[in-house]
Amino acid sequence: MTTRILTGIGLLALLFIALYFGGWVFALLWVASVCVAMYEEFHALYQAGHRPVAWPSWVALIIAIPGFMLLTELAGMLVLMMLVMFTMMTVGVGVIFRNEPKLEDLLMSLLPLFSIVLPGMCMLGLARIVPVAEKRIFLSLAFLIPVVGDSFAYFGGVRFGRVKLVPEISPKKTVEGAVAGLIGSIITAVAVFLIASAISNHGLPFYHFLILGLLGGLVGQIGDLFASIVKRHCRIKDFGHIFPGHGGMMDRLDSILFVSVLIYLYQALL
């Protein structure tokens, strides 16, 4: 427990540093995290006996990063869609023309593209928002809603957990923990609003934060369960061991990646 808490504090400190400096500092740290997460997921799929075609997803990620950072938002999205098509086509060809083509290998080859690369680019899209005050608000929401919600779910489940949520996927998760996590996510969004209102004139109405706290809490927990079902399929407990008490990079980013898509789409519609 102590190790988990200390590691969590260290990760939060690194997050606040990245959010404070923003720009290329945030982008480099985020891209490095995404690369580690994608390596972990492909490694888990290999361990499960699959033969995923990994290189197209890596090519798509490498090209998408400068495209999303340097091009206009519309041009970046067009490049991203072209890369998705490229990846799907090359993966399809790579699997179909094998001696033993399997649909499972084709689908598993595309899993990191849709669960890591695309959500990762959504986070980079949030890093381009102007004015700076709104950028920091949306980035903070994308990280803190799932992170704090996960902590509330963990401690709420330990203290009050009785009814299992989905024992076939994650035996330790409980309904009580999920409710506590949702409450934590909403409280976090409200706290971001109060702090942002005190230090800047952002102009975002309060109800947006309530909506994002609620939806983000739900989406974050779905992302966590998605990672759990992948780990259960691969017969592993964690994706890695680089964070003592927390597992690997993908174990930390699973819910954040899902919430980043929600936040990116929500702010794009404002």
In tens, the pLDDT along 189-233 reads 999 999 999 998 888 999 999 999 999 999 999 999 999 999 999
- The answer to whether the bond into 131 is cis (omega within 30° of 0) is yes
Decide if pLDDT at 76 tops 90.
no
pLDDT at 25: 87
Report whether pLDDT(172) > 80: yes
Residue 21 has pLDDT above 90, yes or no: no
Q: What are phi and psi of 162, to 5 degrees?
A: -135, -50
> pLDDT band at 181, cuts 50/70/90?
very high
Q: Predicted confidence band at 68 (pLDDT cuts at 50, 70, 90)?
A: confident
Report d(CA 96, CA 92) in Å as an integer. 6
Whole-model pTM: value is 0.93
In this structure, the strands spanning 170-174 and 164-166 are antiparallel
Phi–psi pair at 247, nearest 5 degrees: 95, -140
Question: With 90 as the cut, is the pLDDT of residue 105 above it?
Answer: yes
Q: At what angle do helices 132-160 and 249-269 cross, to 10 degrees?
A: 130
Q: Say if residue 253's pLDDT is above 80.
A: yes
Query: Of the given ranges (107-116, 133-142, 245-254), which has the lowest mean pLDDT?
Result: 245-254
* Torsion angles phi and psi, residue 236, rounded to 5: -130, 155
User: Other C-beta atoms within 10 Å of 201: how many?
Assistant: 8
Q: 202: domain range?
A: 2-269
The predicted structure's pLDDT at residue 170 = 92
Residue 127 to residue 19: CA distance in whole angstroms: 9
HSE-CB at 127 with a 13 A cutoff on CA atoms is: 26
HSE-up (13 A, CA, CB side) for residue 150: 23
Check whether 72 has a pLDDT greater than 90. no
What is the amino acid identity at position 149? G
Domain count, the chain: 1
Residues 112, 19: Cα–Cα separation, whole Å: 25
pLDDT at 204: 94
> What pLDDT score was predicted for residue 1?
60
Give the residue-averaged pLDDT of 91-97: 97
- Percent share of the chain, pLDDT over 90: 79
- Which structure tokens are listed for 119? 């959500």
* Average pLDDT for the chain: 93
